[in-house]
Amino acid sequence: MHALAAPVEIVPPDLRDARQPQVAVAPNGSIHIAFGKMNLIYYVASTDGGKTFSEPVIVGELPKLALGMRRGPRIVATTKTLAISAISFQDGNLHGWFSQD
């Protein structure tokens, strides 16, 4: 088993009550995390093995974002592509965001 490093805070104090983080590790080792708070979907990333993370970026907003006892945002990452999906509990629709930069 690998030894785990000490925990690292990845969000500022105003986002500490965010919910349902989902982690993806790309083939190049970069770490990508999507999570939600209220109706907002956020994203952070690390390119140094999780020692530091980028400032949270708002990916999108959905009315009644499915969080809590429901499924939160999901994320997948390759070396060149990032995809985040989330469900609006209001209408049940699945929404997606994609980036290749």
Residue owning tokens 């999901």:
74
Q: Please, what is the average pLDDT of the chain?
A: 91
Domain-embedded: residue 94:
yes
As for how many domains the chain has, the answer is: 1
Domain-embedded: residue 3:
no
Domain-embedded: residue 95:
yes
Provide the CATH number for the domain around residue 72: 2.40.128
Here the tokens at position 2 are 């690998």
Residue that wins the pLDDT comparison between 2 and 81: 81
Q: Are 30 and 82 in contact (CB under 8 A)?
A: no
Give the CA-trace dihedral at 65, 67, 71, 75, to 10 degrees.
70
Domain-embedded: residue 13:
no
Here the tokens at position 19 are 């919910």
31-58 tens-digit pLDDT: 999 999 999 999 999 999 999 999 999 9
How far apart are the C-alpha atoms of 88 and 21, rounded to whole Å? 17
Domain-embedded: residue 89:
yes
Domain-embedded: residue 9:
no
How far apart are the C-alpha atoms of 50 and 55, rounded to whole Å? 13
Reported pTM = 0.91
1 pLDDT more than 70: no
**Which domain range does residue 34 map to?**
19-99
